[in-house]
Amino acid sequence: MHDNQYYTEEVHGHHHIHELGNFKLEMGETIPNCKLLYKTHGKLNEKKDNAILFPHMWSGTSKSMEIFIGKGRPLDPDKYFIILPGQFGNGLSSSPSNTATPHDRGAFPHVTIGDDVVAQYSLVYDHFGITKLEMVLGWSMGAQQTYEWAVRYPNMLKRAATFGGTAKVTSHNYLWVKSHEDALKSDPNFNNGFYNNSNDCHVGIRRHSQLWGVMGLCHAFYRENVWSSIGFNSVDDFQHGFWDNYFLPMDPNNLNCMSWKWRHGDVSRHTSGNLKEALERIKAITYVIAFSDDMLFPLEDCEYEQKMIPNSKLRVVNTLWAHFGMFCVTSNEKDQIDKIITDLLNESY
Q: SS3 for the chain, per residue? A: CCCCCCCCHHHHCCCEEEEEEEEECCCCCEEEEEEEEEEEECCCCCCCCCEEECCCCCCCCHHHHHHHECCCCCECCCCCEEEEECCCCCCCCCCCCCCCCCCCHHHCCCCCHHHHHHHHHHHHHHHCCCCCECEEEEECHHHHHHHHHHHHCCCCECEEEEECCCCECCHHHHHHHHHHHHHHHCCCCCHHHCCCCHHHHHHHHHHHHHHHHHHCCCHHHHHCCHHHHHCCCCHHHHHHHHHHHHHCCCCHHHHHHHHHHHHCCEHHHHHCCCHHHHHCCCCCEEEEEEECCCCCCCHHHHHHHHCCCCCEEEEEECCCCHHHHHHCCCHHHHHHHHHHHHHHHCCCC
Return the ∠ at Cα 118 (arms to 291 and 346), rounded to 5°.
45
Looking at residue 37, its amino acid is L
Our answer to whether residue 140 is catalytic in this structure is yes
Beta pairing partners, 343: none
Exposure on the CB side of residue 115, measured as CA atoms within 13 A: 30
Phi-psi region of 322 (alpha: psi -120 to 50; beta: other; left: phi over 0): left
Sign of CA pseudo-dihedral 204, 4, 12, 100 = positive
Judge whether 16 counts as a catalytic residue: no
User: pLDDT grade, residue 3 (50/70/90)?
Assistant: low
Q: What is the pLDDT of residue 349?
A: 84
Confidence of residue 70 (pLDDT cuts 50, 70, 90): very high
Q: Looking at residue 325, what is its pLDDT?
A: 95
Q: Is the pLDDT of residue 1 over 60?
A: no
Per-residue pLDDT tens over the stretch 84-128 = 999 999 999 999 999 999 999 999 999 999 999 999 999 999 999
Check residue 64 and give its pLDDT: 95
List of residues 6+ apart from 141 with CB closer than 8 A: 55, 56, 57, 58, 87, 113, 165, 258, 261, 262, 265
CB 211 within 8 A of CB 179: yes
Q: What is the pLDDT of residues 252-287, one digit of tens each?
A: 999 999 999 999 999 999 999 999 999 999 999 999
Cα–Cα distance, 254 to 142 (Å, whole number): 16
Residue type, 82: I
Give the pLDDT confidence score for residue 24 in this predicted structure.
98
Catalytic residue selected from 293, 294, 301, 338: 294
Which member of 94, 140, 259, 312 is catalytic? 140
* CB atoms closer than 10 angstroms to residue 164: 27
The span from the CA of 276 to the CA of 271, in Å, is 9
Task: Answer whether 81's CB lies under 8 Å from 71's CB.
Answer: no
Q: Cβ distance 140 to 164 under 8 Å?
A: yes
Nearest residue to 68 via CA among 332, 287, 327 = 327
Pick the closest to residue 205 from 162, 247, 150 (CA basis). 247
Mean pLDDT value across the chain: 97
Catalytic residue among 18, 209, 323, 338: 323
**Radius of gyration of the chain measured on its C-alpha atoms:** 19
pLDDT in tens, 142-191: 999 999 999 999 999 999 999 999 999 999 999 999 999 999 999 999 99
136, β-bridge pairs: 53, 160
